[in-house]
Copies of this chain bind each other. A is one copy, B any other.
C-alpha cells in the first residue's frame, strides 16, 4: 500500500498514541513515526513495542520535518501544546489530535496563523486501559473516526486525513466540532459518568464493600468497566465539555427519577414498557458493527 507520510510525529505515547503509531508503521502508511512523551521512559517501551521508529528528546525534535503531527495527550495538554507545536511545524504540514472533545481545540486552532492545517480527530475506539503497553494496532479497524475541520480550513488536509482514516481500517465521519461534543457527550461521556457514579455510590457503603466485591458478577463488571479509565483524561473531558455533560446529566437524572417513581409506586405496566423500550433500542446498537453504514452517510 502506498505510503502517505514520510514522517509522522506522535506527541504523547499512551494507549491511543502507541496504537496509532504501530498501525501507521505496520500498515506502511508512514516512513517513520517519531515519538515524544512527558515521561521519557515510556518512549523506550514504545520503541520496543514497535509503536514508534525513534524517540525525540524535545517537542522541537519530534515535530521537525513531519508531514503529520498527532497530539495524543489528554485534551488539556493538547490545548496547551498546540500553539507551540504549530509554531514548530513545517509549512504545509497537518496537525491533528485524538481527543474526546473537539470544540475547545478546534476553536483554538482557528486562531492559529496560516501555514499549517489543523484537522481535529476522535477515533471512537478505546479502552479503560492506560499506557503504551496496552496498545492495539487493530484498535481503529471497523471503528468510526470523527474528523472535525476548522472553519475555512484547507480542504486538501481533510482529504488527506480521510484517506489516512480509511487506510487505518476505520470509517471517517466529518462533524462540526460542537455537534461532535454533543453526540460524544451522550454516547461516551454520560455513560462514563454514570459508571463512575455507580462505583462511587457503592464505595460509600463502607460496611458492605467486602460483600459487594464478593457478590458482583458480570453485569456489574460490564456496566462499570469504563470507570477504570484514566482520571486525568476524564477530568479534561469534563472540563472541556462541561455544558453538554451537565445538560445530559440533568436529563439522565430525570430519567432515573422517573424509574424510581415507577418502582416505588409498583406500576407494573409502565415498568414493563420502560424495560421493553430500553431493550429494543439497545438491541439496535448490537447490530451496528455488522452493518457499517455507507461512508459519508451524515455528510
Contacts and interface: CB of A to CB of B under 8 A. Distances in A.
A249 B235 contact: no
A227 interface: yes
30 contacts: A124-B215, A126-B218, A144-B214, A144-B217, A186-B202, A187-B212, A187-B216, A188-B217, A191-B223, A194-B256, A195-B223, A196-B259, A196-B274, A197-B255, A200-B277, A200-B281, A203-B278, A211-B298, A214-B288, A221-B285, A222-B223, A225-B282, A227-B278, A227-B282, A228-B282, A239-B263, A239-B268, A249-B257, A249-B259, A253-B253
B125 A217 contact: yes
Given A271-B235, A281-B203, A260 B249 contact: yes
A151 interface: no
A251 interface: yes
B226 A223 contact: yes
Interface of A is mostly: helix
A127 B219 CA distance: 7
A111 interface: no
B264 A242 contact: yes
Given A228-B282, A231-B276, A219 B192 contact: yes
Interface string A235-259: 1001100100110111111111101
Interface of A: 124-128, 143-144, 146, 173, 182-184, 186-188, 190-205, 208, 210-229, 231-232, 234-235, 238-239, 242, 245-246, 248-257, 259-260, 262-264, 266, 268, 271-272, 274-279, 281-286, 288, 293, 297-298
A36 to B, nearest CB: 24
Contact of A252 (B183, B201, B232): B201
A274 B200 contact: yes
A265 to B, nearest CB: 9
A281 to B, nearest CB: 4
Contacts of A293: 214
Given A215-B146, A249-B263, A278-B199, A187 B235 contact: no
